[in-house]
Structure 1
Amino acid sequence: MSQGRARVISTEPLPNSEAEWKRLVKTTYIGQDGVTRTWEHAERTTRPKGSDFDGVSVIAILGKDTGREILLEKQYRPPLDRICIELPAGLVDKGETAEQAAVRELKEETGYVAQALTTSPIMFNDPGFCNTNFKVVEVSVDMSLPENQELKPELEENEFIEVFSVKLVDLWDECVKWEAQGYALDARLASFAKGIQIAKKYGL
């Protein structure tokens, strides 16, 4: 995926009154030592009422004749001003379970129809910086289904996503190559790849 015309042309402070997705917060707290301190952080403001998580990341393993492959995405991310390689992911809608959100987001972003298998506990991206959290959902993709032969993603007007897959056994080596090529790696993907490498190392 080429970055094409995508680029940052300016940055400036964002007043809370203009923020649609998040806000900056100063929290006053008492530490374990009894001392009162302050902490500045960001909060996501889009979490649906009644939900305890913001979104999902999807692990979709495709069974191909050449072996198992993991489904990935390339997407330009303005905060980084780079193309990022990521797992399919998205925010949960009101009333959705993590499993429902994962199946919906996968269909919208990649065109693949899937069934949810297992779901992780809630995970926090960067707990010292923000309260954003998510669940990882493993899904099953039946490659024999007609709808998984002729893919029809349902991208929004401002979404430009390249979908691709790589062999699961090569994922860590590919991550190393992608970084050398100038891509940014999403932490969820890189952590998953590193976990596979460590599991191989210790024969788990």
Structure 2
Amino acid sequence: MSDANAKVLKTEPLKDSDAKWTKLILTTYSDPLGKPRTWEHAERRTRPKDSDIDGVGIVAILEKATGNEIVLQKQYRPPLDKIVIEVPAGLVDAGESAEEAAVRELKEETGYVGVVTESTPIMFNDPGFCNTNLRMVHVTVDMSRPENQNPKPELEDNEFIEVFTLKLEDLWDGCKRLESEGYAIDARVGTLAEGIEIARRWKL
């Protein structure tokens, strides 16, 4: 089985009453000059009432003597009709913190058991289009722990995820190589890689 076999079969309009995950909104607002305007955007239907975020992205670093590696995934995404290079990620459950969600999602999607070291401020993925937000949670994975020797993902039947790693220092070049091979680069991966490259170039 391979994500390369996945493809879009058809697209069609979706009635609001049939939409489980998203809804379209027409917002009327006043611009800085006081002129009324409208804006079309999307909203998620899934954010728990007790949460300020929709989900988490996970920067999981494998601590190795040969060089620290970042955990990445290949996953087919129908909106792009492409396999996308992503960090592990997922939605938060009701009553769950960002940190708890990150540890759970990392274990489910990759099999790795990690320890949270830091969480970012709330980030908005595409604020001109939707209100979706997340926290990036930094997790270290101790490769000496027995459970990390032969990690086994716990995927749902609709999840088809290929886990791989890259050396953190090679992430920028890796993104360029993967794009040249036909993969799409998730913005969270690309922005992280760009940040590392900027820090290297400007000796920060």
TM bracket (short chain) = over 0.9
Deviations along 1:2-42, one digit per CA (max 9) or x if unpaired, are: 53321001001111100000000000001101000110000
Shift >4 Å, 4+ stretches: none
Alignment correspondent of 2:38? 38
Q: Read off the aligned partner of 1:129 and give its amino acid letter.
A: F
2: CA distance, partners of 1:141 / 1:5: 32
Extract unaligned runs of 5+ from structure 1: none
Maintained 8 Å contact 2:3/2:83: yes
Deviations along 1:122-163, one digit per CA (max 9) or x if unpaired, are: 000000000000000001111111110121211000000000
Alignment of 1:88-107 (within 5 A): 88-107=88-107
Alignment of 1:1-204 (within 5 A): 2-204=2-204
**What's the % identity of the aligned pairs?**
64
Q: Read off the aligned partner of 2:131 and give its amino acid letter.
A: N
1: CA distance, partners of 2:94 / 2:157: 22
Deviations along 1:73-117, one digit per CA (max 9) or x if unpaired, are: 000000000000000000000001100000000000000001111
Q: Read off the aligned partner of 2:52 and give its amino acid letter.
A: D
User: Secondary structure, in 3 states, of the residue corresponding to 1:174?
Assistant: helix
1: CA distance, partners of 2:53 / 2:4: 34
Count of equivalent residues: 204
Instruction: Give the TM-score taking structure 1 as reference length.
Output: 0.98
1: CA distance, partners of 2:163 / 2:109: 8
2: CA distance, partners of 1:110 / 1:3: 16
Deviations along 1:160-192, one digit per CA (max 9) or x if unpaired, are: 000000111110001011111110000011000
Structure 1 window deviating more from structure 2 (74-83 vs 64-73): it is 64-73
Q: Read off the aligned partner of 1:33 and give its amino acid letter.
A: L
Extract unaligned runs of 5+ from structure 2: none
User: 1:71 Cα shift?
Assistant: 0.5
Q: Read off the aligned partner of 1:13 and give its amino acid letter.
A: P
Q: Read off the aligned partner of 2:189 and give its amino acid letter.
A: L
Deviations along 1:54-85, one digit per CA (max 9) or x if unpaired, are: 00000011122321110000000000000000
User: Secondary structure, in 3 states, of the residue corresponding to 1:4?
Assistant: helix
RMSD (Å) for aligned C-alpha atoms: 1.0
Q: Read off the aligned partner of 2:95 and give its amino acid letter.
A: G
Instruction: Give the TM-score taking structure 2 as reference length.
Output: 0.98
